[in-house]
Amino acid sequence: MPTIVGKEVGPIGLGLMGLTRRANPISTDDGIQVLKTALDNGVNLWNGADFYGPPDNNSLTLLEKYFAKYPEDADKVVISIKGAAGPQDMTPDGSPDAVRASVDNCIKLLNGRKKIDLFQPDRIDPKTPLEVTLGVLDKEYVQTGKIGGIGLSEVKAATIREAAKYTKVASLRASLNVGKTDIFENGVAAATAELRIPLVAYSPMGRGFLTGQFKTLDDVPQNSLLRHFPRFQLDTFPINIQFAEQVAETAKRKGVSPAQFTLGWTIAKGNGSPVVIPIPGATTSERVVENSKKVDLTEAELAELDETLKKFETVGDRYPDFIPIEG
């Protein structure tokens, strides 16, 4: 089993964003049940953020309530928390004061129920030297035992190598799915493999695009944030859905769901170097159970999907302009 900050984690994790979403929020009780189902099915790497939801209902507030109800689970779970980003415009702020404010707030919201195993700046702040940002996290929080370790999110290969000079990088969070494989072309995956950093793959199902739940653009709720994403527009959706349909057909022949197939592909893509752990989101226990079943793909099945990838090209950027990304 892969390890993060010295703790074993399952081959598939859980992204917490949907559990405290601002639009059509689910109840706290339902969120707690999803978390319990995840752990019962071996999904013990949970990735959240202080900006996933409003100040009174975000990943940290939900986790505090969960561990208040199930205190015996605190040592069974590895929680990875993103922060140091503006709650409204997502502007990264890696200055010492901002980093301290973010981490201290996360610790406060957990109310002593659980130690943060991993904290990661959501993006790299171009205005603050990386050495400064990581220095605060390492010296003031890791070395004092307030958090377990430091991760990176959405960074270049050069940034990974630079960060490794200043601190032990416990994980890298990056976007990876069958429609987005650029980390294997731009050196990011190679850097994580070289430095033995586990790669935590978010959006492994293309924000639901590869699960089969969307057939037409009308299937995307009008108030969904996805409506703002370039790949979910009138001129891009019909093109992209053709690729999703091909993936679904391949999964059907395998006898598994599209979600299970794409998660299996994501794990296999790393082939152990780097270790790749997908963290699909889920808002129901049923979906968690489905996602938790690891599917092993044969070399022939992987080759078939590679051939499919050559025939289709995903259209549209993965993020709208108002969300900053380090390229």
Known catalytic residue at 52: yes
Q: Which of 293, 295, 299, 217 is nearest to 254 (CA)?
A: 295
Map residue 91 onto helix, strand or coil.
coil
Cα Rg for the chain, rounded, in angstroms? 19
Contact (CB, 8 A) for 11 and 1: yes
DSSP 252: H
- How far apart (Å, rounded) are the C-alpha atoms in residues 26 and 295? 29
Give me 279's structure tokens: 């963290």
Cα separation of 277 and 263, whole Å? 9
Question: Which of 204, 228, 227 shows the shortest CA–CA distance to 214?
Answer: 227
**Beta-sheet strands, E only, within the chain:** 3-4, 7-8, 14-15, 45-49, 78-83, 118-121, 150-153, 169-175, 199-202, 276-278
Nearest by Cα to 6 from 81, 115, 117: 117
**So which residues are the catalytic ones?**
52
